[in-house]
């Protein structure tokens, strides 16, 4: 079965199972080599990259749906997905399935609900589904060099902006670090999310003032320089800060 036949077959099934006009697109961020990356898929049908999104079943809640979509398209489970924006331009997806006529389920107008998650990608490999030929992490710095389908570049950019805004008042993304980490490693995470270099002294002072870190009686050994102190999270204060934000009135 070639990729077009496969898409037609999926369309027939989809009409029975899924709600029309609604899709979900998860933006899964990972952190690796001091850089952010995002999880993308490429279908057999067309050589553009896509977010691992999909449709919502008539018989499931939206929250269940996006988790199922992410699992089926990329093998990803156990992430905390947060809705961040809805993409509803009327012509946003009209060119992707241009080889098909209007009866194709996948070609209709979709309003897509954008979710993001921060994913500890350390030892887990994404698993692609049967309509894809690739499911991979792509570094944010490489995004300008690849072709992204529809408005998926805009969705990723908006997710990143949300992350930047969020990190200004909540200690997010710390699950991307190992259990014990140095302040320098934490600074790299902030720099990757904010997309800019930070002054080391200012950063150390501010981050300590948040009150979410616990200094351990251990150092990171093995480097050429003085062994830096290791930190972990003060679990209780961290959860509190996640719930209430960092500025209390």
Query: Which residues of the chain form contacts with a second copy (CB under 8 A)?
Result: 19-22, 56, 58-63, 65, 83, 85-90, 109, 111, 113, 165, 167-169, 190, 194, 198, 203, 206, 244-249
Cβ proximity to a second copy: between 95 and 169 the closer is: 169
Which segments of 87-198 does DSSP mark as H helices, in order? 152-167, 183-194
Cα–Cα distance for residue pair 179/214, rounded to 1 Å: 11
- Residue 11 CB, shortest distance to a second copy, in Å, is 18
- Residue 98 CB, shortest distance to a second copy, in Å, is 20
Helix/strand/coil for 22: strand
Cα–Cα distance for residue pair 236/233, rounded to 1 Å: 8
The position carrying tokens 């049908």 is 45
Cβ proximity to a second copy: between 206 and 215 the closer is: 206
**Cα dihedral angle (31, 32, 34, 38), rounded to 10 degrees?**
-50
Cβ proximity to a second copy: between 109 and 141 the closer is: 109
- Residue 246 CB, shortest distance to a second copy, in Å, is 7
Cβ proximity to a second copy: between 93 and 132 the closer is: 93
- Residue 2 CB, shortest distance to a second copy, in Å, is 32
Strands, E, within the chain: which ranges?
Answer: 18-32, 35-43, 49-50, 54-57, 82-87, 111-119, 132-139, 213-219, 229-233
- Residue 86 CB, shortest distance to a second copy, in Å, is 5
Cα–Cα distance for residue pair 159/78, rounded to 1 Å: 19
Cβ proximity to a second copy: between 31 and 49 the closer is: 31
């Amino acid at each position: 079965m070639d990729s077009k036949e496969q898409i037609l077959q999926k369309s027939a099934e989809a009409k029975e199972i899924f709600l029309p006009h609604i899709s979900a697109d998860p933006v899964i961020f990972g952190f690796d080599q001091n850089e952010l990356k995002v999880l993308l898929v490429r279908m057999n049908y067309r050589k553009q990259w896509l977010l691992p999104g999909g449709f919502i079943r008539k018989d499931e809640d939206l929250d269940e749906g996006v988790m199922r979509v992410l699992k089926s398209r990329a093998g990803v489970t156990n992430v905390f997905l947060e809705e961040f924006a809805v993409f509803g331009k009327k012509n946003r997806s009209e060119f992707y399935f241009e080889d098909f006529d209007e009866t194709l389920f996948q070609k209709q107008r979709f309003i897509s609900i954008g979710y993001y998650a921060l994913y500890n990608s350390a030892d887990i490999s994404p698993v692609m589904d049967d309509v894809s030929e690739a499911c991979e992490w792509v570094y944010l710095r490489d995004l300008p060099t690849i072709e992204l389908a529809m408005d998926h570049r805009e969705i990723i950019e908006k997710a990143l902006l949300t992350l930047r805004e969020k990190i200004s008042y909540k200690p997010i993304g710390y699950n991307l670090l190992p259990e014990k980490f140095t302040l320098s490693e934490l600074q790299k995470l902030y720099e990757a999310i904010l997309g800019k270099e930070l002054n080391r002294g200012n950063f150390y002072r501010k981050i300590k003032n948040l009150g979410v870190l616990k200094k351990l009686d251990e150092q990171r050994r093995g480097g050429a320089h003085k062994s830096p102190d290791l930190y972990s999270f003060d679990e209780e204060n961290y959860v509190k800060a996640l719930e209430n934000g960092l500025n209390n009135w």
